[in-house]
Structure 1
Amino acid sequence: MPVIRRLPIDTHPENTAFLLRRGNGYSAEQFQALRKIRVTGTGCEILATLALVDDEAIIGAGEIGLGEQAFRRLGLPEGAEVAIAQARPPASLELVRRKIEGETLGEAEIAAIVADIAGHLYSPMEIAAFLVACAGFMSTPETLALTKAMVEVGNHLHWDSPLVVDKHCIGGIPGNRTSMIVVPIVAAHGLICPKTSSRAITSPCGTADVMEVLAEVDLGEDKLADVVARESAVLAWGGRVNLSPADDVLISVERPLRLDTFEQMVASIISKKVAAGSTHLVIDIPVGPTAKVRSQDDAVRLRKLFEYVARHMGLVTTIVFSDGSQPVGRGVGPVLEARDVMAVLRNEPDAPADLRDHALMLAGHVLDFDPAIEGGSGYARAAELLASGAALAKMEALISAQGRNPVKPVPGKHHYDVVAPASGRIAAIDCERIARIARSAGAPLDKGAGIDLLHKVGAPVRQGEALFRIHANSQTGLGFACELAAEASGYTIA
């Protein structure tokens, strides 16, 4: 029996095992058959994609190397003996084939697929086949079944309160970092708001990326619960507490394919909110020509799907349509967005007014869930908490409780101004293009990379005047972003 050797190779999201091509008692034909192998130890097992190694400096005879993901998921120490065998395809793959052929699957059938995906029994290619089949057609009952299954296979957080609130935006609008303003406002009022957020995959940053500029976000379940107990809220990365893990696997495949159907979106959002213990949720749906939702008809269809699934999952929702015609705030990228958030919380006179107003509107809807507040007065209460400094004090308390980042956030040291090609008035800003340029500069991994928007829609500009400034901490990242901006800046000047 081979023994485990941990290899410092990141094969996210797949489990990958490494075996020496010769000297392990297998023939070449058997190796070809063992495209995927089952690795079994005492009380645990994983399925892993097999990679063959010809260099004994990497892996030796009698050893099986495991990449970082496979080693962590197997849970055994280095040197432990394991058995390996050819892995049979999961039985639920036959259900995926039926979905590809256009069949509607039942709740138990979708649950079987999701359980195997969460158990890392599917390859990315097999996951992609399931996602594409669902993108072709997915009924409303199937969407509900997918949501239920994703909740069941993950961890569940529980809070000692009948009212646990949250807010979520469907994304797609650069700079729309309202959660980091809404959460401290709501917590300062006294409502419980355990906000777990994702990191960016294809966008310039997610809420977790921005909060990480200010504080620790990689919190275990005990630490997260302790912060909520002390401060009524948290702003943490959701991946650590294993909420709806099947969704994390699906996202890792669907985002590179740029698959973002309404059905997958609803199942993803609702499953994570239910798993996080939320009872009441405000959902922000920005609508605009370059947003995820581009027409009022689509917005209404998405709202109805959210309402149907949330109702059956026991989640009370308020759904808000907002302006998605241009980026929100001035900064796009972790450091720049953190700067805007803190400017709003500090009531600085030059803080982005659109970010402040949007956050207050959403915070008002969340506070309206409180039965102690007179109907419709949530906005006034949110404005009061922001103006008084109570929201800022709560944010500072959250930062301290989670663990303050000792590194002072500063924009990237390299920068370049993209200028107006002609005089006129800014007629439109392409959200998708601005996000791509910011990401090319290095955001979110380079925390200081991103874009400072110097003008917004409606502003007059002169030829040669700077429209926005690209920041990066590397000349390479700055060069990539400048090339993309030269092709098309995302600004339309009338």
Structure 2
Amino acid sequence: METEFDYLHLRRLGINTHQEPVVYMRQDCHVAISEGFFAHSRVEVKAGQRSVIATLVLVCSDLLSHEQAGVSEAAWHRLGCPEDGTQLHFSHARPVDSMSFVRGKLYGQPISQDAAVAIITDIREGRYSDIQLAAFVTACAGDRLSLDETIAITRAMVDSGQRFDWQSEVVLDKHCVGGLPGNRTTPIVVAIVAANGLTMPKTSSRAITSPAGTADTMEVMTNVALSFDQMHQVVASEGSCLAWGGSVSLSPTDDLVIRVERALDLDSEGQLVASVISKKVAAGSRQVLIDIPVGPTAKVRSQHVAQGLKQALEQTGAALGLDIRTIITDGSQPIGRGIGPALEARDVLQVLRNEVQAPQDLRDKSLEMAGILLEMGGKAAQGEGYLLAEKTLLSGAALEKFENICRAQGRFDEPGVAAHTHCIRAPHNGVVAYFNNRFIARLASLAGAPDVKTAGVELHVALGDSVEAGAPLFTLHAEAPGELAYALDFLDGHTDVVRIEEEMV
């Protein structure tokens, strides 16, 4: 029951807390005292008919008056963007009962289907704080989820959001499990497949622990934050799209979990499978090709692990009605030259435009994957998909389709260029013998990627190349001198990013 003592007047503070709603009030205001609130309390905030569960921060200064409550941007948007001065009513948020299942998992109890539904529902409704989300991510980290638990979480994630139904038995999709810098095959593959008249409604995530996800790269060139109806219109018009999955509420809890995984730099095999499969089911896909790169510094380090992940993806997909085909590829070095949104976008356009300087490895891998999908979609006989994919690329049809998709999504822009660069050169003569994918990704992130679209790393060499002392190995790109300095500081302590070994005579 609301009383005269449980409200304060809203003040929009303009504080970016990303996706976590936060509310601020003085620790000596009447609401904090009467309700017994303490720092990091979970409180329910109401503004008219809208409400949000937020984390409370208590203020010990004159930032706010005793009659005001500040809200973060995330909370303000969830409350419907009310005007300053609007009455906000406060109460304790009800306990999050599903946390008992998370605690149980931490102590070795499996997550049942009912437990998965309860956890995912509470995450979707915003009842989990970032601390509680971190506990869930940790409980699922590594290989802690069984196949049954993975399937249960996947089902719950699918049911938590909207789903597309394209009224077709052939709806294609692709995904890469990640961990390999560059590797931006998706825009090229989508363009080739859609240019052949097949339906491929592609939704992608933003970066988790990498310098760019497909959504980050595509955002350089077009709008990716499409609504459910907008995505439907683009696919109806062009047969495909290249959208950010978080904007269309397909498996909406996934992006909340991904945000915390990124902050913790943690990956979970089971959560990865649930993330991939739930989004494919929600997107209305029927046939899906999944790329698993394997390499000593990739996300997947061994063939043994890759085979386990392959089985988990295929079995979870089958349990939810998908035809999953996986391919295990070489993850010993980055794919393409660019690592970072704008640099990867440049690689994509060079391939689509059939430019002489286009990265050959990105072109070849894209054609391989597009060829398999053309065969899965019935457009090419077994073993003939690659030739059809190459013909589609060389004819310019793939470029035309890609530009049409971008324009249908709102715009088509050329990638920008960073203001600052620094070239790293070979210390001596020799052969390029090793890439540390994790260090390269870290360098690109320290330079500002993916938040700064033009930041990243541009590679000038590949495995097996012979180089002379002073030859360029890679160039750092940054918008600010400080970010460039961060990357160079990291490089001072991690010299084994690209290893040059002496040639054997």
1:67 aligned onto 2:63: no
2:467 maps to what in 1?
Answer: 461
One of 419, 426, 434 as aligned partner of 1:428: 434
Q: Is the 8 A contact 1:13 1:69 kept in 2?
A: yes
1:480 maps to what in 2?
Answer: 486
> 2: CA distance between counterparts of 1:405 and 1:347?
18
Q: What is the CA distance between 1:87 and its match in structure 2?
A: 2.2
> 2: CA distance between counterparts of 1:309 and 1:450?
35
One of 428, 446, 450 as aligned partner of 1:444: 450
Q: What is the CA distance between 1:184 and its match in structure 2?
A: 0.4
1:148 maps to what in 2?
Answer: 155
1:215 maps to what in 2?
Answer: 222
Once the two structures are superposed, residues 8-32 of structure 1 have per-residue CA deviations (whole angstroms, 9 ceiling, x without a partner) of: 1111232211123334254389132
> 2: CA distance between counterparts of 1:24 and 1:34?
18
> 2: CA distance between counterparts of 1:163 and 1:14?
38
Q: What is the CA distance between 1:489 and its match in structure 2?
A: 4.8
Q: Is the 8 A contact 1:415 1:471 kept in 2?
A: yes
Q: Is the 8 A contact 1:318 1:365 kept in 2?
A: no
Structure 1 residues 364 and 51, CA, compared in 2 at 3 Å: closer, same or farther? same
Q: What is the CA distance between 1:60 and its match in structure 2?
A: 3.4
Structure 1 residues 151 and 251, CA, compared in 2 at 3 Å: closer, same or farther? same
Structure 1 residue identity aligned to 2:435: I
Q: Is the 8 A contact 1:418 1:489 kept in 2?
A: no
Query: SS where residue 36 of structure 2 aligns?
Result: helix
Q: What is the CA distance between 1:33 and its match in structure 2?
A: 7.9
Q: What is the CA distance between 1:34 and its match in structure 2?
A: 7.5
Structure 1 residues 414 and 88, CA, compared in 2 at 3 Å: closer, same or farther? same
> 1: CA distance between counterparts of 2:20 and 2:32?
24
> 2: CA distance between counterparts of 1:33 and 1:60?
18
Alignment of 1:76-475 (within 5 A): 77-78=82-83, 79-135=85-141, 137-406=144-413, 408-475=414-481
- Name which of structure 1's ranges 47-56 and 9-18 shifts more when overlaid on structure 2: 47-56
Structure 1 residues 455 and 107, CA, compared in 2 at 3 Å: closer, same or farther? same
> TM-score under structure 1 normalisation?
0.95
> TM-score under structure 2 normalisation?
0.93
Q: What is the CA distance between 1:429 and its match in structure 2?
A: 0.9
Once the two structures are superposed, residues 122-163 of structure 1 have per-residue CA deviations (whole angstroms, 9 ceiling, x without a partner) of: 122222222222237322111100000111111222323222
Query: SS where residue 259 of structure 1 aligns?
Result: coil
Structure 1 residue identity aligned to 2:229: D
1:32 aligned onto 2:38: yes
Identity %: 46
Query: SS where residue 239 of structure 1 aligns?
Result: helix
Query: SS where residue 256 of structure 1 aligns?
Result: helix
- Name which of structure 1's ranges 223-232 and 357-366 shifts more when overlaid on structure 2: 223-232
- Name which of structure 1's ranges 246-255 and 383-392 shifts more when overlaid on structure 2: 246-255
Q: What is the CA distance between 1:292 and its match in structure 2?
A: 0.7
Structure 1 residues 350 and 33, CA, compared in 2 at 3 Å: closer, same or farther? closer
Once the two structures are superposed, residues 388-411 of structure 1 have per-residue CA deviations (whole angstroms, 9 ceiling, x without a partner) of: 1110111111122222255x4332
Query: SS where residue 255 of structure 1 aligns?
Result: helix
Q: What is the CA distance between 1:315 and its match in structure 2?
A: 0.9
Q: What is the CA distance between 1:71 and its match in structure 2?
A: 2.0
Q: Is the 8 A contact 1:212 1:405 kept in 2?
A: no
Structure 1 residues 195 and 87, CA, compared in 2 at 3 Å: closer, same or farther? same
Extract unaligned runs of 5+ from structure 2: 1-6
Structure 2 residue identity aligned to 1:314: G
Equivalent pairs counted in the alignment come to: 492
> 2: CA distance between counterparts of 1:339 and 1:278?
28
RMSD: 1.9
> 2: CA distance between counterparts of 1:249 and 1:447?
22
> 2: CA distance between counterparts of 1:33 and 1:394?
53
Once the two structures are superposed, residues 79-129 of structure 1 have per-residue CA deviations (whole angstroms, 9 ceiling, x without a partner) of: 544431122321111222221221112101111011111111112222222
- Name which of structure 1's ranges 37-46 and 257-266 shifts more when overlaid on structure 2: 37-46
2:22 maps to what in 1?
Answer: 16
Once the two structures are superposed, residues 379-431 of structure 1 have per-residue CA deviations (whole angstroms, 9 ceiling, x without a partner) of: 2211111111110111111122222255x433213211111112111111111
> 1: CA distance between counterparts of 2:349 and 2:452?
20
Structure 1 residues 429 and 393, CA, compared in 2 at 3 Å: closer, same or farther? same
Q: What is the CA distance between 1:193 and its match in structure 2?
A: 1.0
